[in-house]
Structure formats: structure tokens, C-alpha cells
Structure 1
Amino acid sequence: MTTAIGPRRNNIAKAGLMLAAAWLAIATPSWAQTASVSDPLPSAGTSADEGELVVTGSQVSRSGFTTPTPTTVIGSAELARIAAPTVADALNQLPALRGSLTPTSNTSNSVTIGGNYLDLRGLGNLRTLTLIDGKRYVPTTTTGSVNINVIPQALISTADVVTGGASAAYGSDAVAGVVNLRFDNNLKGLKATGQAGISDHNDHRNFLISLGYGGEFGNGRGKLLLGGELQQNKGVGALNSRKWGNAGTIQNPAYTATNGQPQLLLVNDVRASNATYAGMISAPASLRGTQFTSSGTGTIPFAYGANATATTMDGGDGYPLNGVSVLESPVKRWNGFGRATYNLFADITASAEFNYARTDVNSDSNLRVDSITIRRDNAYLPASLVAQMAANNISSFTMGRGFDDYARGLFDITTKSWQAAGGLKGKIGGSWSFDSYFAHGKTRSLTLFTDDRITTRWQQSIDAVVNPANGQIVCRSTLSSPTNGCVPANFFGVGNVSEAAKTWMNGTSVRDWNIGQTVASLTLRGEPISLWAGPISFATGGEYRRQTVRVTSDPLSVTNSFRIGNNQPWSARQNVKEAFVEIVVPLAKDESWAQNIDLDIAGRITDYSTSGTVKTWKAGLNYTVNDSIRLRATRSRDIRAPSMDELFSAGGVTLPSINDPLLRTTYNVQQLATGNPDLKPEKADTFTGGIVVQPSFVPRLRLSVDYYEIKLKGAINTLTTSQIVQRCYTDTPQLCALITRPSATANITVVRAAPANLQRLETSGIDFELAYAVPVGPGRINFRSLVNYTNKLDLIDGAATRHFAGNTETIGIGGVPHWRFNTNLGYETSRVNINLTGRYVGGGILTQDNNIDVKRVSGRLYLDLSGEWTIIDHSSNRVALFGKIQNLGDKDPPLTQTGTARALYDVLGRIYTAGIRVTY
């Protein structure tokens, strides 16, 4: 029973969008609204903001200063060219970002489902700090992550990506770097975008409306910045809507520990060998291979696929284990932002702002197969099967059945967040200035997991018998407890479970998050003294944060009554006090051997009420040799404090799938996850060093090459259920204490998991950036290429080292390819832009365990064509039509253990987008 999709290329809406996108992309072009042809390229990491120089990655304000930490700037022009429905979809194309958690890549983790969370360097989204206009936003999950969809895209001027440690500048979580979404504080008038998109498979239907407005009041003393956004994506039903969607790994029946055969086989059609939609008997052996008809009134032989084991096979009549999983969760979201600033005095400005965001998500549990014990006197059994059981003295059998039609399990998640902030900033004499703000925000995320099976009631409904007193079918438990309310259910065939039975045995598991954050911050900046090469720039300040989390659930979850969910109530609070200082010392200026040299030193001390006091620091050097060459290097100590979820979570139950190395079968087990109050902050030593070349003899050319190395000690990590089971029987036998197996020949029933400071993470690589613009005819050609080579991404815990660079694994922190690049070639005039973008995601080995028959997969090169045509350009008024075709060649992703590595590759196929932009 798969999710139906409409026929390809037969929908009017799709045809219209396809034609519009193709016409606009080929006959016109993309977006760029960059500067005129003669304008130089901007310096990475700096931007003008209401007359003040702001540098992402630093706290100082200094004319001409560029942070020594590498920073990639993605401007509004580039974001618009990509024409993505969310900012994350655009930023995830950067090679330094591993495909982050999105409704496409992550549809079964109810913690982050429906949000967009960024992941620099593949170290995990919790190690990437997300800032909104330089400030922390109230977390949208109990783990402390921030969904970057909380602000309207129309208000974003740039997305600054600091690809190096920045804890000394911003505090915890900036281990891998910082993504700072800047507001366009100089916006004047109205800015609006409306767009719609659809995939080549007649799904992924989405639209976006984003509005921004900037104006003045009070005779120019006050400024307003307003914005709002509405976006909806109807999602994609199931993986098997794509031809690769049923692929995955199965157990190899020929494998033994000594015969050299691979343990797993990569196949195109992963199916259960012990379950069907209507029900299939897997034991005892004399009945195995008997399946029920869809009506449930009879039985027919079960057709086995290739390489069948006790639980999996390739093809055949079995239930599709991978293909029915959700490919993209439907999401509807909207947000609004307003800010007013007012010059109280000549040098003092007050500001007040408010932001509100809401996201609604509906998704699927991705759990599909039950193992059910049926007794011979079950009232719904076909008479022919009852006779066969009686003749062979069989009292019961085990049946595998999909539960799509009676206990599918659906997530309904509504997340609301708001934050209010007020601030004062200004000059206080000479070179000195201050910047202060106070912010308070809250998030409420309510998850209703509907159609969640109540275990005891389900077991009672299965055991349906004939009441000898009246001949009616009842639950066996009703015979001894006539008022227990049990409703018997017919589990044979498809769709035979009555609505009354569903109502009786299913319920709604509730998880209610309430998260609060209060921030008070003060920064003082100035130039206290001058040296031979210029003034010293100085910044100091402090910050106080108070975070609270309260998680509640329902009475049945508290008693672990549901199949999954069962979130346990807990609450916690955390106070954070910080003080920092940063100094930029000019060491040389206008020398024959140096145009300038700046030394950037910073330190921060942070006290966490939950995990103690930590110190962070950085030392960076900028050496501008001449107008053409600049060298930069930074060494830093960075930290991430454990989140309150990692510390205090009371746990919940999930049902992940495992490959049991002892029994050589695949099945679901209960995982019970809890927090660990003894966690300590992670500590990272980070080094970046590189060169920036802007040769004076080649105007508008910019090249940068940077090496990075991050060594993270005491990494907080929770081993996955699969990792615990596999390593119990390989290199870490002490993990077997976390596993409950009733007997040596029985399936595992429970695996316990909790985070610990048990690992080290090490990564290194090189980032390349090349940008060039050259006048051609009435316009100019623009070229920009971003390349990342990941040399190493290792997870080390003393007993073993896992190498995640150059592979496509999805377990643990997940694999990253060695090579990724994003290259754009465009031509722009005052009216027309056209862009061709190439995105490459490398391949690699499927698993470092070398336990699979297919060892490697190739990478994928995706081509995107986009275009924009300005149809009205009068004074400050502008109207432009735009279109884009993403994944022009409709390339499928490579096949991996779980279908594909959804965090790395395009999974939706060719996508068409068309829209309109207006400035007034």
C-alpha cells in the first residue's frame, strides 16, 4: 500500500510552471542585482550597516579591518538567484555545509522535523551557532538549535558563514563556525517576492510570499523595518515515488564469519521476508510462506524474492521496508518581524523589535511492520487455516503484517516562537561607543503523535474469540472482564480493522515543549591608544543568559503505554554569565614589506550553572603584503556546553531498525534515550590559515585558499542503536550492558542510550574560493566557485576510530564526501541575468566496515539554470520575472544502505520554480 502520486506531466499547474521557468531561464536569466560592472568585489566578512562597519566573527569596530577567520558572504542577490523556498535550501549548497536537517533529509526525527538546522563541517548542527543579525535567538528545540526559517527572506541582506571557531567572539556552540543572517537595515520602500515550484514528478508543490519594508518617521530620526513571510510545501509522499526509493541493504544469507562473503547486500527492492500488507505467517516452519489474501478470507502461497533470510529479501511479495518511508514532510510556516529605531539624541539610538514565527508539520512515523501472535481459536481466522492447524496440532502462529491501515502513527507538530528585544547604542565620547540590548523569547512546540498504538489494548484486540454465551465475537479479555471496553479486531487482509477497534487500541501521545530564553548584553568599543602603525581597537563586554525548558506529556506516555513516543516530563533551567575582551593591534602599516599587519586577540570566560566554568580564546593575524596578497591565520580554543536536553531529558521510546549480528536478522527494537547530568563542555582546538589574492593587474579577480583543522575533545555523543548493537559484538563488549536480550536465541527487546563525553572528533580540509567579473558587451560575466576538500572527519573513542570523510554513511555523525563544489557562471545586464550553476557532491565508500557487496558509489554533478528579466525599471521601482530549473538533468542520487544519503544528494529530481520580484 504505497502513497499514490499523480501522473507525470499531465497537470496544468505543473505545465504552466515548467514553461514559465524554462522560458525565463533560457530566454532571459537569473537574479543578481549586484553592483555595476565597474564595481570591485566586496571583502568577505564585512558590510556597511547604517554607517558603521560590522565584521562577522569579531566584536571590534575598526575601519578597514577584516577578520582573520575565513568568512563566506552570500548576498541577497545570490540567495535570490538560487530561488529556494527557504534560506537553508540555499545555504546547504555551500560546500562547507553538509546537507543540514530539513523536511527532505530528516522526516523521522521528531526533535527536528519540519525545521531547518545548519551543519558546518559535518560536525553536527549543535556545533554550528546560528545568529540573527548578530544576536542569539530563542532556541526552537530542547537541544538548543535554532530553526533559521524564523525571519523573512526579504529582510536578509547577507548570510555570513564563518568557517572557523568563533567561541571567543560569540560564546558556546561556535565550534564549527557561525552562520549570521544579517538584516537589510538600509532597506527603503517595499520589497516583495512571490514564487511557486513543482517537481518533475508532480509533487513537491510549494509557494513562497516574502515581503519587506523600510521607511522613516519623525523627520528622519526614526526608521522602520518590517517584514513577513508565508511558505508552504505539500511534500512528497514516499520514497518509492522515485525509482531508487525501494533500494537499500539486506542480510546476505550466504554470509558466515569465515567465508569471506559480505554481511550485507545492496539491492534495488528491499522487502520483508516475514511480512506483507495483508499478513504472512513466518512461524512455525510448517506454515511459513502462507500469506493472507487482501480480503482476509483466504490464504495463498507467498512468493519469496532473491537472497531471502528470516527477515529480508530482494523483491517478492513482502512488505517494502524502505520505499514507504516519507520522502519530504509537508510544511506550512509563516513569520513576521518589526523593528523601530529612533535617534534619542545626536549620538544615542534606541531600538525595539519583535519577531514571531510559526511552523506546522504533518509527517509519518516511518514504522510499518508488526509481529503478531495468533491463536488457533481466533474468531477471524479462515476455516481452512483453522482445519490445517488442527490437523497438524498447531496452537498458534506468528504473523508479520504492515500496520498502515490501523496504527500508522502520524506526527502533527506545531511550533510557535517569538522574541522581543530592546536596545541602546551610541557614542560616549572620542572613539568610544557602546551597544546594549535585552531580549526575551519563548518557544512552544506541541507534538501530537496520533494513531499511536496502546500496547496492552492492541494485544487484547488481537486475541478475538467467539463468546460461547451468545456467539458474538469479543476479546478474550472481555470474557473475564465484561466491562473492560475491548473491541476485537480483524487483522487478516487489508482494511478489515474496524473504526471502533482503532479507536479502542490507538491513542495520541503528547509531547509539549516550552522553552524560554532571556539575554542581556553590553559591549563597549573604542581605540584607547595609538601605536606606530595606528590605533589599537578594543572591545569588551558581558552577557547574561537564562534558559528554561519544561517538557510535559500525557498520562499514558508517563506509564510507557504506547508503542513509541512515551515522552517523560522533565524541566530544567540554566544561567550563563560571560565576559569577554578583544584587541586588534596594528603591527605594521605602509611599509615596503607590508601594507599592514593586524594582530587580533580575544578571550572569553563563561560560567554555566549546569556544567561549570570554561575559557575560550583566539589569536589571529592578518598580513596584507600589498594590494594583491593577504595572508591570514587564526588559532582558537572553542567550546560547546551540553544542552539541557542532553543533561536532563527524562527520555522517550523509539523503534529503530537494527541488523542483529548474532541472529543475522533485521528487526525493530525499543530504544530508551535519557540525558546525562554529568556531562562536561566539549573543547576544541581550531586552526585556520590561508591566503587571499586580488591581483591588481587582473581587476575584479579574487582567490582565497584556506586550510582548517579542528580537534574536539570530550565530544558529547549518543551512539545510535545500530552502533551499540554492532560494537557490542565487535570492538566494545562493555556496550552489551545497554542491551536487553531475553535469551541467547531471542531478539533484542530494549537498547538504552544516553549521551557521554566519550569521544574525540577531528576534521581537516581545504576551502577554495574563486570569483571573477569581466565586462562583456552591455553587461558583465560573473564567475564564482566555492570548493571544499575534506581530508579527514574522524570519530575516536579509544576503542575504535570511525572515518567519515570520503564515505556516504548515515549512522552517527554521518559521512561527507572528500570533494564538494558549487560553481556559478552568469551574465548580467541592467535588464537581464542568466546563470548556470554546477553543484558537485562526491561519492565514496558506502561503509568503512567493508561489510557490503558494493564498496563505492560515484559522485553527482547537478546543473541548475536560472534567469531573470526586468520588465519595469523606472527610478527606484522595479518589477522582474524569474525562473529556475534545478537538477536540469533529473539525476538520481547514488544508492546506499538506506536508499540514499539524503543529507548529501538531491533526492527530489528536477524542480521548476517561477515567480516575480517587486521593489517600490
Structure 2
Amino acid sequence: MSASALSTFVIANVAAAAEPEAPADDTPGKEIVVTGTHVIRDGYEAPTPTTVVTVEQFQQQTSSQVIDFLTTLPAFSGNVTPSNSTESIDNGTAGVSSVNLRNLGATRTLVLIDGQRAAPSTIDGRVDIGSIPQQLIQRIDVVTGGASAAYGSDAVAGVVNFVLDTRYTGIGGEFSGGITNYGENANYNASLTAGTAFAGGRGHVIVSGQASHQEGIPIVDRPWNAHGRVFLTNPAYGTGPGQSRDVPQRLLLDEVGPARASRGGIIVSGPLKGIAFGEGGTPYQYNYGDLVSGDLMQGGEWREQNYNLTDGKSLEPKMSMRNLFARLSYDLTDSIHVFGQWAWSDNRYSSRAYGYQDNGGITVPVTNAFLDETIRDLAIANDLTTLTMGSSNQDMGFVHTDNKRVSNRFVFGLNGDFDALGANWTWSAYYQKGITRNTERSINNRVEDKFAQALDSVRDPGTGAIICRSTLTNPNDGCVAYNPFGVNVNSPTQLDYILDDGYRFQKFTQDVVAGSLQGEPFSTWAGPVSIAAGVEHRAEKSTGHSSDLDLQRAFYAGNYQPTIGEFKVTEGFLETVVPLARGTRFLESLDLNAAVRATQYSDAGYVTTWKAGLTWTPISDLTIRVSRSRDIRAPNISEVFNAGTSSLGTVVDSAPGPNFGATVQVTGINRGNPDLTPEKADTTGIGVVFRPSFFRGFQASVDYWNIDIKNVIANISTQQIVDLCVQGNADLCAAINPGTSDVGHLIAGSLHNVINRQPFNLARQNARGIDFEVSYATAVPSVFSSSGATLRVRGLASHYIRNYFESGVSVPTDSAGENAGNGPPSWRWQASATYDAEPLSLTLAARGISAGKYNNAWIECETGCPVSVSPNITVNNNHIPGAIYFDFSASYALLASEDGRRSAEVFLNIKNITNKDPAIVGLSGVYLEDWQTNPTLYDAEGRVFRLGVRFHL
């Protein structure tokens, strides 16, 4: 069981001013506890801040997915959701719901289920919280501080513990549906749960199931997405004729589209530059607009050629989720209890991920049989043998991702208590088996070698039919010629030859055996000393296989490689709470909480973690808490054993020569590193909690936190590899196009540039900030009856002061206040007011983020700019506005049970009631299928409605 006492969450960032109903567990009379420590002790106030999310709060949102609610909490920044993982086709995390505390990465947040480590759902160890039986979640404890000594590796940023209702009694369920203001993303949720006692109350059984589905939003047809706002290099910047370095090097402009790619293809160089091919292959002169810069341009045909206006990736994926849960528990004796439980989930996800935008990277012989005769004659007249083209390849459509994730989790456990040494001791032991099977598919994926083969077409000398040149010498090669000139010029047969589906099947298993013991063996003058101790052995393993084409890295995207590896870890911990003072002047209470954990990894060696904390209550109205901990994150299976997943991207060639400054398409191959060692983090927390006795129902807290991580496991970027190669690093040069005669140099115009990457224990990362919370509850008059009502007000805010990363190979960065990526924003906040007057309950909530920058290192200027030197790039606009969104929920009781609780209610939830558009966030790069906002931070769906009924009989 996870622990500290119920009063823990009253003092430690309580989720609501009124205490939530405590959940039951399997031991009659045992105190209900909240995550934060393994020690169970009455009146203990935790030194580590803990936020508790109740089921009632979760039910007030429009989504049936718990990740969507957690993403609104200020402590979370950069959560991975099905909405913002659309393009994660290469790393296999598309469709995953994973939490990210403090923006330190999902792998640095430990996820527990009833205090037990959850099984991984992906090769990098993330837990898909969509696999947790959401219909039985009673509350969610969020520990915002290092907890490795208490719970083990990965708790660098904190712990998120999903507490299930294991004593559910009766029959309950929910049926609800939702839709956006635009009639999109129709969805439903249905759940049914039944639980009952048997054998005179000694046994208890629960069965529960849930099914949910959303249709998704495949295309972003919204006005905010139609601006074409993109960063491009300023042609007026430089030292050449007519140029100046007093102007910004980069310009953020509207109405920007591709200059070296069109939907049906465009010739991008030579005397025929600007000839494009439209509907049915008709050639025409491309309208470039007034400003052209490299691969981009402003004006001209920007709207017609801009992907995200009419195509683009999915705004919301199509998703289906099914969960089943069963639990059986029995009291063998009055002091020994046994239980077994099984949880199964089946999550399916599909969305549009990538378009096929080749910016000037296609070479076509002028002998190509599909080429318009007029254009061929012009090419021959200009002594051309090939045409260099760019294309968005509209006929090919989009790469789709289609993932299926099936999880099974089995837990068998015993717990109880006994008397010894003059004290009562509680104990628990369990075995857990987690099995997750992932099937990841890339649909409609281009096979690059077949594409190159199909581009070279000729006419059959015998029949006059257009065939591949390769078929002349190998009549049975099966090649079908592809027409690169125009839109709607290729038949399904032509597309079927160059497009195929890739897949990877992965199986992740986790076995855990653990036991713990807690008691109060003796006392000091200030009270009893509590002790907890435990041991745990865990084994994790990944196996899998991929398609032959993926293994050959033959695709445009994906190129799944199976990750095969395993590790084991054995650890033991000891934790204590020692009361140092009680009931004296300015020492109403003073408690010490300390813990130590010894951990031995089969692959990463031995490490010791520890924590120490004090809670001091000088007067009853005020509590001060201080904590310090050493936490770790061991390398996961992907970081050690990754066989080489790939991702598309671009780099700027910084090598002197004719290709200098050119944007080059590359495929980054991410490999594992068996020599990695654990990350080590030092976490400091200082907080004050104020609960004035003269103002009943009010409480406030302020907590400062500082997390300093050394030996950070991270990859250096493909751009950094290129730059360091140019500076003379031979090892990194060998990672560029390995195995070629041109080692260390990019090949201009090639679609096959490859850069190998692997993680290293790099320098350090530091995050610090301040959390605020205010809550108040009071009785107020009711406008509906004479029985009175309750008003509850709550506010949460996090101020991110620093999010510093030093790779050891590049200039350090601080992303706190950057709103273009995961951020975090400088401020995230949430406030709500709930009015309960049975039978009606109303809640109005507001949530927001502060304005920010694209990049903290950039310098914004219009004229008189300093010389632009990376990373201090000069730009004309470095500002992204903040946002405030309002949500509303209402519920009405249809039936009430004898104890006054609601047994049936109808509810209406409205998200973003003002239908506020998200902030427009300009794109950086040449791939224009992305949305014009940041879905990780801003609400992109608009107004969303949800209507339903809940019951508990």
C-alpha cells in the first residue's frame, strides 16, 4: 500500500477544500492513506507536496480520458496525449497517454497503481494510463517531488498513483456522449461496474467493464489554421550585395508556402525552373510570390500549395478503448487477507501522420515517358538530361499510423497484521505480472527504392506502353511506372507498387515480487517512531519482430526495428518517521521523515537513493516543510537495446563547399547504448502551508522546488552531429552516411542521407519553480431549497523559473517560458468554483498559460539588429500569446440513496465555453502539414459538449 496518513493531503496541496471521502482497502479498520511515503502514522504531515485528484473532479471534464484532465493541472507540462502524438510514428508512441511532471520527460515520472509499479506500454518505459481501469479510479495522488527512495527508479520528477476502489459495492455505470461545436469527433463512453460481499462479509468480488470510442478529426478545417505562418530565412540578411546584418536573420510571416514543392511537382532549378504540373498533368508557370527564401516563399500560390490548409495531419485521432477488470478478495483469518485481480485493456488508435513533401530532392530523366512533350523539347533544347524537381506528391496521400495496444495485468497478494515487541505491525506482499502487446503499423508508406525505380519510365519498344526502365532488362520485376507530373495522374495500380504497409509487433513483460512491513516499535517523548521496510525484485523484458521492409529501412517513415532486451533489479528500502518535538512553544510539532534504498541493476550497476524531510508546525495555523532527496532514473530498455528506430528531419549543411547552408533531408537512426549508467538527481523542496484558525475552510500553500539532474541520458541532435563533424570530431563524422565513401558529408539532393544517433550520459538538467494553491469551502444560502448549499473555490498555479539543459556538446538552453514546444510556459494555472445545492451542482473552471517565446535565446528586432550568431538568432517576432479557457459542468440528482448520496444523476460538461481559438504558432521548417498551433499547450478542438447519466444502485 502507498501511504501517509489521511491528514497528509489536508496539509499537502489538497485537491479540494473539503476532504474527499476516503477509499476503503482490504484490511478492516486500517487507516486510509495517501501516496508520499510507506510509513503509516496518525497525524503525520508529509514533507513532500501531494495533490489529490478526486473522481468527482475528473467527472467534470468533457473527455472520458483521464489524461485530458491531468493535462490541465499546472504541475504537468508536456504530457503525451493521443492528440499531440499524431506524428510519433517512428518511435512507436503514437496514441499513448503518458504523464510528464515538471516537463522533465515522461520517463522521469513514476506511475503506480495502488502503490505498485505499473507495467511499461512502450519500448522507452512509458505507461499508457489509458490501460488503467478508469471506471474504478477512486482518486489520483500526484507527488510533486523526488520519491525514488520510497518507490524506486524513475521518480525523479514525482509519482502519479492511481488508487482504485477495491471495495466497490452495488451496481453502477455511466453512459455519455460528446461532440465538438463543429459537429466533429463524435464520441461515447459506456461503463458498468458491480461489486458485492460474500461469505458473511469475509469475501468481496468486483467486476467492471468500459468501452469508449471517438471518431476523430482527420483534417483541421479551422480559420486559425489558415494563416500560413512560418519562419523563413530573410533574403536581405547577409554580407552580399544589397544585404545587411542589421536586419533579422529569420522572419515570421503569414501566407507562406513551399517554393520547391507543389502538389503535382515543380522543376526547381535550371532554365526550366518554375514549370509546375497541375490537374491531369497540365504544365503551367508557378507563381512564386514576392519573397522567395530557400524552400519557402511568401505569397503567390502559398494557399493552393500549403498542406495544412486542406490536408495536414489529424487534429484528433480515431480511437477505441475497452477495459475489463475483476477482483476477488477474502479474509483467511481476522488478520490475514488474500486477493487476486486481473485488468485487461485494448486500445486502438489511427490518424494521419505525414505527407510526402520532397523539397527539390527528386531527379527525373528527361526521357521519362510521362513528361509532356513540349517540356521535353524545351529540356533537350537546353541540353538537359535530367530535371530536378520538388513535389508534395498529392497522389500518394498521407502516411497513416494504426496502433493496437493490448495489456494484461495480474496481481496476487497477501496483507495483514500481527503483534510483536509491544507493537502492532502491518505487512503486505504481492506478485505482479504485466504483459503488453503492441502492434504498430504504418499505412500507405512509401518504399523509397521502388519509388526511385518507378520514377525512371520509358515506353515499351514493342507495345508502346509506359513501363519502368528496369523492366526492359528484367521483364518480371513487377515494377509499375509512377507519373511525377501532375495531380490525379496515377492509378491505384501505380500507387500500390510504391506504397506498402509496415509493422512492428512488440511484447513487454514485467514481473514484480515485493513485500513490506510497517510498525511503531517504540516511542520518544514526542510520540511513537514509525518504521517501514521492504524488498522488491523486478524483471522487465522486450521482444518483437518487424516486417522485412521495416528491417531493411526501406520506408519513407517508420522503419520499425524490434527492440530485444531485458534487465533485472533487486532493491530494499528502510523508511522512518521520528517525532522530534510536540506541544511546546513554537514547536507544536516537529517530525523527521527519512528513507534510504539500495538498488542493484543487472545492466546499470548499484546505486543508493535517499531522502530526508522535516515538517515543522510552530503554531497550529502554520506548517513549514523542507525536503532533500537523491533520486535516480536507470536507462530503460529502449535506451540500452534500441535496434535503430528512425525519424525524418532536416539539417543545415554547415560544411564549407557548394552545399553550405542548404537544408538537407535526413533520416535519423536512434540506437541504444549498453554503456549507459543511471541518472542522478538532487531534489530540494521548501514549502509553507497556512490554515488560519480564524478563517475556517481556508488554506493556502506555497512550495519551491529545485531538481538538479546529472548524467542525463539524452541524444544529441542530428544538427549537432553535423556541426561537430565539421569542427573535426571524427567519431561523429562516422555517424553520417555510415559505410559510404563520402563518410562525414551529406549528399545534396539525396533522399537517403542517414545519421546514426545514440544516447549518452550527458552533462546536466535543472528545473526549478514555485507551486501555489489556495482553497476555500463555506456554507452559503441555497437558491433551490432551505437546506443550504456549499461553495468550494480552489486555485492552483505553477511558476516555472528554469528548465535548463546542458548537453556538453552545445550551448546550454533554458526553455522555461517557451510556448512553441513542450515549454514549459512561465505560468500554468487552474481555478474553479463549485456550488453544491442538492439536487443541483454547478462548476465554473478557468485554466490558462502565460504568454511566451519561440526560443529564449533568440533576439527580437526589426532594425539595428546585432549580428546573428547561433543560438542568439535575430528574428522579427519572438512572441506567442498566452490563453485563458473557461469550462462549465452541471449535474442534477435524479435519485438519492438513504444516506443522502446521489444514486443517479444527469450531467452536462462544456469545455472551452467561449469557443476560443488557440494561439497561432508559426512553423519552423519546410514540412507544412503541421497545425498552426501547439496542441500540447493550447486547446485546438474548440468548444466541446458532453452529456450523460451516471448511476450507483
TM-score by length of 1: 0.91
Match of 2:888 in 1: 865
- What is the aligned counterpart of 2:297 among 309, 313, 335? 313
Q: CA deviation at 1:42?
A: 5.3
CA distance in 1, matches of 2:19, 2:238: 59
Q: Pick which of 227-236 and 787-796 moved more.
A: 227-236
1:331 aligns with 2:331: no
Question: For the structure 1 residues 45 and 794, does the alpha-carbon distance in structure 2 shift closer, same or farther, using more than 3 Å as the test?
Answer: farther
1:353 aligns with 2:341: yes
3-state DSSP class of the match of 1:378? coil
CA offsets 1:462-520 (integer angstroms, 9 cap, x no match):
11111123322111001111111111122222222222222222222221111110000
Which amino acid in the other structure matches residue 79 of structure 1?
A: F
Q: Pick which of 56-65 and 589-598 moved more.
A: 589-598
CA distance in 2, matches of 1:825, 1:633: 31
- What is the aligned counterpart of 1:287 among 272, 280, 283? 272
Q: CA deviation at 1:688?
A: 0.7
Which amino acid in the other structure matches residue 679 of structure 1?
A: L
1:79 aligns with 2:79: no
3-state DSSP class of the match of 1:447? strand
Match of 1:401 in 2: 391
Query: Is the CA contact (8 Å cut-off) linking 2:644 and 2:671 kept in structure 1?
Result: yes
Root mean square deviation, CA, Å? 2.4
Query: Is the CA contact (8 Å cut-off) linking 1:139 and 1:515 kept in structure 2?
Result: yes
Question: For the structure 1 residues 472 and 138, does the alpha-carbon distance in structure 2 shift closer, same or farther, using more than 3 Å as the test?
Answer: same
Match of 1:373 in 2: 363
Question: For the structure 1 residues 705 and 731, does the alpha-carbon distance in structure 2 shift closer, same or farther, using more than 3 Å as the test?
Answer: farther
Q: CA deviation at 1:238?
A: 3.2
3-state DSSP class of the match of 2:99? strand
Query: Is the CA contact (8 Å cut-off) linking 2:38 and 2:532 kept in structure 1?
Result: yes
- What is the aligned counterpart of 2:802 among 768, 782, 792? 792
Q: CA deviation at 1:569?
A: 3.5
- What is the aligned counterpart of 1:362 among 338, 350, 357? 350
1:299 aligns with 2:283: yes
CA distance in 1, matches of 2:728, 2:453: 42
Match of 2:407 in 1: 417
Match of 1:907 in 2: 940
Which amino acid in the other structure matches residue 517 of structure 1?
A: Q
CA offsets 1:241-261 (integer angstroms, 9 cap, x no match):
452364332232223276133
CA distance in 2, matches of 1:232, 1:728: 49
Match of 1:23 in 2: none
Query: Is the CA contact (8 Å cut-off) linking 1:152 and 1:211 kept in structure 2?
Result: no
Match of 1:201 in 2: 182
CA distance in 2, matches of 1:807, 1:673: 26
Where do 5+ consecutive residues of structure 1 fail to align?
A: 1-33
Query: Is the CA contact (8 Å cut-off) linking 2:24 and 2:167 kept in structure 1?
Result: no
Match of 2:921 in 1: 896
1:882 aligns with 2:907: yes
- What is the aligned counterpart of 1:845 among 827, 843, 853? 853
CA distance in 1, matches of 2:505, 2:951: 40
3-state DSSP class of the match of 1:908? coil
CA distance in 2, matches of 1:467, 1:382: 17
CA distance in 1, matches of 2:148, 2:63: 30
Q: CA deviation at 1:729?
A: 7.3
Match of 2:160 in 1: 179
1:438 aligns with 2:417: no
Match of 2:524 in 1: 531
Q: Pick which of 502-511 and 600-609 moved more.
A: 502-511
- What is the aligned counterpart of 1:761 among 746, 760, 765? 765
3-state DSSP class of the match of 1:557? helix
Query: Is the CA contact (8 Å cut-off) linking 1:326 and 1:366 kept in structure 2?
Result: no
CA distance in 2, matches of 1:723, 1:785: 42
Q: CA deviation at 1:102?
A: 0.6
Q: CA deviation at 1:423?
A: 0.2
3-state DSSP class of the match of 2:802? strand
CA distance in 1, matches of 2:272, 2:828: 52
Question: For the structure 1 residues 366 and 761, does the alpha-carbon distance in structure 2 shift closer, same or farther, using more than 3 Å as the test?
Answer: same
Query: Is the CA contact (8 Å cut-off) linking 1:55 and 1:66 kept in structure 2?
Result: no
Match of 1:30 in 2: none
Match of 1:596 in 2: 589
Match of 2:500 in 1: 507
Match of 1:543 in 2: 536
CA distance in 2, matches of 1:259, 1:904: 34
CA distance in 1, matches of 2:261, 2:197: 67
Question: For the structure 1 residues 119 and 723, does the alpha-carbon distance in structure 2 shift closer, same or farther, using more than 3 Å as the test?
Answer: farther
Q: CA deviation at 1:897?
A: 3.8
Q: CA deviation at 1:306?
A: 4.3
Match of 1:252 in 2: 234
Q: Pick which of 649-658 and 271-280 moved more.
A: 649-658
Q: Pick which of 817-826 and 168-177 moved more.
A: 817-826
CA distance in 1, matches of 2:921, 2:805: 21
> Mapping of 1:774-813 within 5 angstroms?
774-777=778-781, 778-798=788-808, 799-810=810-821
CA distance in 1, matches of 2:825, 2:215: 30
Query: Is the CA contact (8 Å cut-off) linking 1:464 and 1:476 kept in structure 2?
Result: yes
3-state DSSP class of the match of 2:639? helix
Which amino acid in the other structure matches residue 354 of structure 1?
A: W
3-state DSSP class of the match of 1:254? coil
Question: For the structure 1 residues 915 and 701, does the alpha-carbon distance in structure 2 shift closer, same or farther, using more than 3 Å as the test?
Answer: same
1:104 aligns with 2:83: yes
1:121 aligns with 2:106: no
CA distance in 2, matches of 1:730, 1:262: 26
CA offsets 1:282-338 (integer angstroms, 9 cap, x no match):
122x11111112111x21111113432231123432532555133222211111111
Q: CA deviation at 1:847?
A: 1.1
Query: Is the CA contact (8 Å cut-off) linking 2:218 and 2:352 kept in structure 1?
Result: no
Which amino acid in the other structure matches residue 230 of structure 2?
A: G
- What is the aligned counterpart of 1:263 among 227, 232, 249? 249
TM-score by length of 2: 0.88
Q: Pick which of 200-209 and 420-429 moved more.
A: 200-209
Question: For the structure 1 residues 885 and 53, does the alpha-carbon distance in structure 2 shift closer, same or farther, using more than 3 Å as the test?
Answer: closer
Which amino acid in the other structure matches residue 380 of structure 2?
A: A
3-state DSSP class of the match of 1:431? strand
Q: CA deviation at 1:680?
A: 0.7
Which amino acid in the other structure matches residue 600 of structure 2?
A: D
3-state DSSP class of the match of 1:384? helix
Query: Is the CA contact (8 Å cut-off) linking 1:236 and 1:328 kept in structure 2?
Result: yes
Question: For the structure 1 residues 848 and 322, does the alpha-carbon distance in structure 2 shift closer, same or farther, using more than 3 Å as the test?
Answer: farther
1:62 aligns with 2:47: no
CA distance in 2, matches of 1:636, 1:43: 29
Query: Is the CA contact (8 Å cut-off) linking 1:312 and 1:666 kept in structure 2?
Result: no
Which amino acid in the other structure matches residue 253 of structure 1?
A: P
Which amino acid in the other structure matches residue 328 of structure 1?
A: E
Q: CA deviation at 1:41?
A: 4.0
Query: Is the CA contact (8 Å cut-off) linking 1:48 and 1:54 kept in structure 2?
Result: no
3-state DSSP class of the match of 1:405? helix
Q: CA deviation at 1:556?
A: 2.3
- What is the aligned counterpart of 1:688 among 661, 685, 688? 685
CA offsets 1:678-705 (integer angstroms, 9 cap, x no match):
1110000001111111111111111111
Which amino acid in the other structure matches residue 251 of structure 1?
A: T
Question: For the structure 1 residues 47 and 732, does the alpha-carbon distance in structure 2 shift closer, same or farther, using more than 3 Å as the test?
Answer: farther
Q: CA deviation at 1:674?
A: 0.6
Query: Is the CA contact (8 Å cut-off) linking 1:445 and 1:512 kept in structure 2?
Result: yes
Q: Pick which of 775-784 and 619-628 moved more.
A: 619-628
Q: Percent identity?
A: 34
Query: Is the CA contact (8 Å cut-off) linking 1:251 and 1:666 kept in structure 2?
Result: no
- What is the aligned counterpart of 1:719 among 695, 716, 730? 716
Q: How many residues align?
A: 878
- What is the aligned counterpart of 1:167 among 148, 151, 161? 148
CA distance in 2, matches of 1:581, 1:83: 43
Q: Pick which of 523-532 and 301-310 moved more.
A: 301-310
Query: Is the CA contact (8 Å cut-off) linking 1:407 and 1:453 kept in structure 2?
Result: no
